[in-house]
Amino acid sequence: MKRFKLINILFVMSCSCLLLGCDNDNISTSQIIDTDIEVGDSLRLLGDVTFDESKLFFDDFTDGVNYDNWIIGNGAWGNGNGGVIPENVFYTDDGVLLLRGNGLYYAKDEVKGVGMLKDGRNTGAALISKFLTGPGRYQIKMKPLGRLGACSAFWTYNNTTDPLGGENLNHEIDIELPGGKSDGVISFKNVLNTNYITESYSTSKDVNFSSIQGEEIYLNDGQFHTFGFDWYTDPEIIVYHLDGVVTAVSDVFIPTLSSRLWLGVWFPNNAGFVGESLFETDYMEVDWVKYLPFDSSQPYEEKDASISVNAALESQYPTTPTYYPDVDLIANGDFEYLADHNQDGYGWSYSRLNTEDKEVSEVCYPLSDGGFQQSYGAVIKDGGYLSTNVDSVYEGYEYQLSFKAKSNGEDSNAVLNFVSASSSRAIESCPVIIKSNEWETYTLNVTAPKDSYSIRLEFYNTLSESTLQIDNVKLVRTK
């Protein structure tokens, strides 16, 4: 009966497509789901489908990463990244899996990449299930890595050669953050819900969760959120959900091959997809993962899903818990990267005001003993201008800026600017005047105003009379 109804509906749908000339990606799903389930509904099971509770998989990472359940990935896919590596996998003593991502400003040189980049930049981490999965409910309670350029993801994957010689039978269901590519502003307001069959046929919903919930919600807000999807094969529907609310319903290109479950953070190196990874180090945090298969009413083809990256050795699994990392949103704020790296390309921009005639190298430059206690620091003279940026900043987020500075005049400034997505002009500026000729620590507590998208932090002299020295710049989220 269910099948008969589905065939009828598909017939109607293809007729209307012929008439309207629509493409498959844009088919409204409302005809199939009709009164069944819609975006904004509370999550529930469709029709008579039940769970096979006897096959529940649940992992809260209490004792770290279980070798019997998970492969820790040690390999790369995509271009321009360093892959996923076991050195970036950690857990806390209260059972949170920490997956570290090192962005393009990573200069610690403590880990090496296994992709095109070998110096540790754009390295992430991933777990892949040793068990195979099929139709059912998939959920992850996590905090995505809250910066642009790092894709926090939870997905099924089976990439199999087509026995008939066509393109690969890539079967995939993905939750990916940040979203926003469809309207050109990548942000944590959005999450991408995508499913594939073959390499060519996919449908992706770029979901703005705020508009579904009727209030502003940013998915890097420091809270755990539960992301997931229900994968049905009869009828073929995927219901994507977030915090118990339906975010998208897909009824085209539904996978039918058994898969493995993947989760992790990786670096697509594609600004149009998740933005640019202009940060040093941050983390994706996972409280738990759950997979609950459906009953036998949901058919699928059993096929081993090969694992497309190398596996870490058992000796590379983390064996002791770690403390929660102290995430500094400023890259290379202690300037010690200068010992082994070029001055440009690691987060700091050494520049000059438009009114300054001297070369940048004379008015804004790093100095090996120019920082606190004769360490590396930055020097700003005359019309020099030192700046750095932090993305993924949203209304209501609270931060503490701290830095060490000294100045031989009274016209030296640090200014923290909140900037919107649409203009480089500050929507709010928070200044600090630096007056002391001895090293002092300056702190500033700020709250991001409406329409915030990033922070631009700048150091300069207003009267071009002073020499300003800067070191140990740090910005942390306090709420």
Residues found near Ca ion in the complex (CB under 5 A)? 60-61, 95, 287-288, 334-335, 371, 375-376, 471
* CB closer to Ca ion, 70 vs 418: 70
Q: Smallest distance from the beta carbon of 357 to Ca ion, in angstroms? A: 29
Whichever of 78 and 95 has its CB closer to Ca ion, that residue is: 95
Q: Half-sphere exposure of residue 341, counting CA atoms within 13 Å on the CB side?
A: 20
Residue 143 C-beta: closest distance to Ca ion, Å = 12
Q: Looking at beta carbons only, is 180 or 333 nearer to Ca ion? A: 333
Minimum CB distance to Ca ion smaller for 187 or for 469: 469
**Minimum distance between the CB of residue 78 and Ca ion, rounded to whole angstroms?**
29
Among 123, 154, 152, CA closest to 137: 154
| Residue whose CB is less far from Ca ion, 77 or 439 | 439
Supply the minimum distance, in Å, between the C-beta of residue 374 and Ca ion: 9
CB of 373 to Ca ion, least distance (A): 8
Q: Among residues 231 and 376, whose Cβ is nearest to Ca ion?
A: 376
For the bound state, the minimum distance from the C-beta of residue 117 to Ca ion, rounded and expressed in Å, comes to 26
Residue 157 CA from chain centroid, whole number: 19
CB of 347 to Ca ion, least distance (A): 14
Q: Find all residues with CB under 8 Å of 461, minimum gap 6, and list them.
A: 380, 381, 382, 383, 384, 407, 409, 411, 412, 413, 468
CA distance linking residue 407 with residue 384, whole number of Å: 13
Backbone Cα Rg of the chain: 25
Residue 404 carries which side chain, given as an amino acid letter? K
Which residue number, 11 or 324, has a Cβ lying nearer to Ca ion?
Answer: 324
Q: Which of residues 222 and 272 has its CB atom nearest to Ca ion in the complex?
A: 222
Residue 94 CB, shortest distance to Ca ion, in Å, is: 7
